[in-house]
């Protein structure tokens, strides 16, 4: 696995100790960095180590082959794997543009305005199997994935799918209307059953938006084939865009196409963006102040934190 360079301050230090069936996670909050994104420190005021005991049998296993969807730009031998709630909409626009930039531009399409319901490319740039992509484009195909802090991804996804969409989606989010604790418990149970290959009627839509990131992209067999980019949401962080541009340059994408992509990336939130909303702050506060709830979230995303090297969330002192 190649991790593209990113420089972001580490404010959390984790010590993980395993005794038999229990993992103890000691998380130390070091204090606020003035340059740190305030969204990541909202309501977090812990000054001493906090130890959370996690039952290993409750941790959702990694590398289950649950969902695989790829976007390809054939002429550049470039592919990316889509993970829900991690720049999936804007990447769809990017790869549609790269598939046929001349016609895309001639029809006055904008990368930042593309979404699944109005895609200029329909589904002709979408694939479902990485091994078949290698056969189609060759073994030297550049493949990358973008991953996101599991804590931020969960909250963003909940606000988008369980609050914003709840007005027009019947029986959404495991029928836990407005109840985040209910949702987390049912998500954990649903993922356990899915891993055990038990059919759960009506759960796929919810599961696919909240499953661990290690369940996507056939990471089980191809983790080390991927270039991994860590996503930091928000216009103020240019590093994700710079990492994408560096990778596209290596793949041979010409400068004028990269410049178009670079201009479109920061042009504002997509239809599904939730960053900075009052709902996000409220759910964040609820999660960080409830140890049992936070433990359940860590049980769901434990391997995402470990495999992709994200800091564990920290309990609020209040």
287 pLDDT tier (thresholds 50, 70, 90) = very high
Of the pLDDT bands very low, low, confident and very high (cuts 50, 70, 90), residue 81 is very high
Question: What is the pLDDT, as a whole number, of residue 20?
Answer: 59
What pLDDT shows up at residue 236?
52
How does pLDDT run across 234-272, given as a tens digit for each residue? 655 688 999 999 999 999 999 999 999 999 988 755 544
pLDDT higher at 34 or 168: 168
Ranking 149-153, 238-242, 281-285 by mean pLDDT, the lowest is: 238-242
Task: Place 56 in a pLDDT band, splitting at 50, 70 and 90.
Answer: confident
What percent of the chain has pLDDT above 70?
A: 76
Res 14: pLDDT: 53
pLDDT tens track for 101-146: 999 999 999 999 888 778 899 889 999 999 999 999 999 999 999 9
Full 3-state SS string of the chain: CEECCCCCCCCEEEEEEEECCEEEEEEEECCCCCCCCHHHCCCCCCCCCEEEEEEHHHCCCCCCCCECCEEEEHHHCEEEECCCCCCHHHHHHHHHHHHCHHHHHHCCCCHHHCCCCCCCCCCCCEECCHHHHHHHHCCCCEEEEEEECHHHHHHHHHHHHHHHHHHCCCCCHHHCCCCHHHHHHHHHHHHHHHHCCCCCCCCHHHHHHHCCHHHECCHHHHHHHCEEEEECCCCCCCHHHHHHHHHHHHHCCCHHHHHHHHHHCCCCCCCCCCCCCHHHHHHHHHHHCCHHHHHHHHHHHHHHHHHCCCCCCCCCCC
Q: What would the pLDDT profile of 186-228 be if each residue is shown by its tens digit?
A: 999 999 999 998 766 768 888 999 999 999 999 999 999 999 9
Question: pLDDT at position 27, please?
Answer: 56
* Cα–Cα distance for residue pair 119/109, rounded to 1 Å: 10
Q: Which of the two residues, 125 and 26, has the higher pLDDT score?
A: 125
For residues 148-165, give the mean pLDDT. 93
Looking at every residue in the chain, the average pLDDT score rounds to: 83
Least trusted range by pLDDT, from 3-12, 79-88, 174-183, 249-258: 3-12
Predicted local distance difference test score (pLDDT) of residue 237: 63
The β-bridge partners of 148 are: 231
| pTM, to two decimals | 0.83
Q: Which of 174, 161, 208 is nearest to 64 (CA)?
A: 208
CB atoms within 10 A of CB 93: 25
The CA-based dihedral angle spanning residues 215, 217, 221, 227, taken in that order and rounded to the nearest 10 degrees:
-120
């Amino acid at each position: 696995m190649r991790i593209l360079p990113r420089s972001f301050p580490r404010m959390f230090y984790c010590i993980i100790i395993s005794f038999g069936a229990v993992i103890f996670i000691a998380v130390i909050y070091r204090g606020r960095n003035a340059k740190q994104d305030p969204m990541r420190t909202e309501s977090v005021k812990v000054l001493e180590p906090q130890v959370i005991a996690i039952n290993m049998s409750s941790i959702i296993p990694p590398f289950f082959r649950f969902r695989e969807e790829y976007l390809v730009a054939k002429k550049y031998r470039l592919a990316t794997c889509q993970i829900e709630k991690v720049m999936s909409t804007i990447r769809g626009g990017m790869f549609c543009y790269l598939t046929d930039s001349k016609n895309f531009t001639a029809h006055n399409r904008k990368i930042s305005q593309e979404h699944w319901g109005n895609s200029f490319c329909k589904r002709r740039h979408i694939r479902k199997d990485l091994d078949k992509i290698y056969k189609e484009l060759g073994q030297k195909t550049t493949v990358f994935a973008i991953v996101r802090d599991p804590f931020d991804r969960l909250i963003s996804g909940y606000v988008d799918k369980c609050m914003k969409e709840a007005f027009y989606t019947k029986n959404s989010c495991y029928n836990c209307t407005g109840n985040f604790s209910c949702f987390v418990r049912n998500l954990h149970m649903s993922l356990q059953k899915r891993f055990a290959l038990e059919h759960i009627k009506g759960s796929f839509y919810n599961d696919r938006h909240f499953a661990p990131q290690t369940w996507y992209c056939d990471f089980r067999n191809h983790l080390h084939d991927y270039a991994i980019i860590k996503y930091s949401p928000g216009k103020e962080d240019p590093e994700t865009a710079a990492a994408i541009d560096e990778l596209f340059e290596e793949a041979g994408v010409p400068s004028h196409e990269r410049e178009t992509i670079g201009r479109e990336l920061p042009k504002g939130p997509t239809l599904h963006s939730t960053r900075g909303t009052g709902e996000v702050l409220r759910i964040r506060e609820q999660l960080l102040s409830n140890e049992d709830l936070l433990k359940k979230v860590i049980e769901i995303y434990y391997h995402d934190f470990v495999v992709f090297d994200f800091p564990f969330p920290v309990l609020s002192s209040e």
